[in-house]
Amino acid sequence: MNLKKQMKKLVTVAATAAIAGAVLSPVSALAADKVRWRMPIAFPSTLPALGAPAQYAAEQLKLASGGAMEVRVYEPGKLVPAFDILAAVSDGKTEAGY
């Protein structure tokens, strides 16, 4: 399987997992008009294999949810330092991280 197909599959699985997480979360996604998540990324979005899939996943989530879910992608260091993304998600400071 080539890299492009692998990345597409990875993004599809991640998008599906994120949608399932939003639907199954204790706070009903249907109660709000729009679900908005902040997602800091560790790699610049200009890097094709490392940063671009995060933006692609955000776009696919918006399409799959009919616009009900919006993921805003933050470049490295804009929201939290790259090496603190896991801690930020674990502590609830951000909803997602890549």
CATH number at residue 41: 3.40.190.170
**pLDDT for residue 4:** 72
**pLDDT for residue 16:** 60
Q: How confident is the model at residue 35 (pLDDT cuts 50, 70, 90)?
A: very high
Number of domains in the chain: 1
Place of tokens 């997992």: 17
Does 96 fall in a domain? no
Contact criterion met (CB below 8 Å) for 54 and 39: yes
**Helix (H) or strand (E) run with residue 17 in it:** helix 3-24
Does 8 fall in a domain? yes
Of the listed ranges 6-15, 22-31, 41-50, 72-81, the least confidently predicted one is: 22-31
Report which of 51, 58, 56, 66 is spatially closest to residue 18, judged by C-alpha positions: 58
Does 95 fall in a domain? no
Does 26 fall in a domain? yes
CA distance 51 to 23: 26
Does 97 fall in a domain? no
Domain assignment of residue 55, given as a range: 3-90
